[in-house]
Chain A
């Protein structure tokens, strides 16, 4: 894959990469750094991608892995920016639905984002997350239920 082909494909996926990183990480700078790292890693290993039709799935997996790597490395630290971001979210700059999605644990959050926001099919999500299709379905169902409960409780408040 040439640099131009790679660049074009990444630009097509910009919104997806943002959503994936933003669903797992909080502050904007971390999202930028992690997506940058994922792009560099993907470009370096692009020859390992046998079939270009899987580019999107492949890059999403790399981005998710990079988010997890970042969270592992930074599990005991919280930056000043992050504290500021938390304040920002409390200031209602985010939608209630986004807040509800962020309340989910990552096991449910990722299938919800990939299915409802990014439009992946169940088999595609199963492939990306290395879990059976049935598990994707059950996590979606549980995630939907928790989101609904959270939003209803917000309305009551």
Chain B
């Protein structure tokens, strides 16, 4: 008996299609950042500490598994990044209103900050729960995403769950500390609306944001992509992320030639770092995730995070786009 699998299911209805399209159209373009921009809090750290139940600080050594997954650092790189101030594991723990929030780890450079928290409550915590939070001076932060780890990354549901925050530092960010305050615990709204706060409280943390400067290479080389010539002028790089500066006019020509419209959320994928080559020709491919990109004065700047930590002492060249156009940095 031959079965016609291809036509087994009824065709999808027009209503199904319309609702799916409607849902996609209703998605916010950058909801988290918009929320951040609306709120400005001034935090008196001392006063907050007085309100808190308990605070404890101690140091750990090996990275948390979740941080290791995000940055793919082996033991040697973890040690190195710890020594070079990119990673800190000084735990801070705050309890209020039955909820304990523990800062487990922070990883950062001049460009981004990753914070891993562990939240423990009296009831089960799922990915649908949420924490309301604020940063003391959010003008220093140009982008931010946060939330409980989803059920795919953390399938087990208990009264504890990891909570992650990713921040992109603004170029004007020069502070040595950042005050972060959670003010509520609750549930995410079902349709991307405001979260429902079930427990209010004060869980405040002072984040040490001192880190090493990114290493700057003056490149000044002209490359050809899609029959367009453009000059790569500068690369700023850390083990975690990069900023690459290219001549604006060349980038514009390339965008035009490849049908990319940056105003319509398109991405110039051919200018994203797609690989890093070491001195011994080891290739770290699929190396980056672009965080932001756009025109700045006379440059086009692409700002991204490496998908695995890079050993700066070994970098020979970077590769751009799917064609992996090689740009020597040394």
Contact = CB atoms under 8 A, between A and B. Distances in A.
Are the chains A and B members of one assembly? yes
Interface centre among B6, B147, B152 (most CB of A within 10 A): B152
A35 B16 contact: yes
B171 interface: no
Interface in B256-272: 264-267
A117 B265 contact: no
B330 interface: no
Given A22-B10, A28-B15, A11 B24 contact: yes
Contacts of A40: 23, 27, 190-192
B8 A117 contact: yes
Nearest to B188: A44
B7 A95 contact: yes
A75 interface: no
Nearest to B307: A50
A101 B267 CA distance: 42
Contacts of B12: 14-15, 18, 22
Contacts of A6: 24, 27
Contact of B16 (A28, A47, A93, A147): A28
A130 B264 CA distance: 38
A44 to B, nearest CB: 7
A91 B302 CA distance: 58
Contacts of A45: 127, 147, 150
Interface in B1-27: 1, 3-10, 12-13, 15-17, 19-21, 23-24, 27
Contact of A35 (B20, B127, B149): B20
Nearest to B18: A32
A121 interface: no
A148 B1 contact: yes
Contacts of A138: none
A15 B24 CA distance: 15
7 contacts: A4-B266, A7-B24, A39-B23, A44-B147, A50-B70, A94-B10, A117-B9
Given A45-B150, A151-B1, 5 more contacts: A3-B265, A14-B12, A29-B15, A47-B166, A48-B150
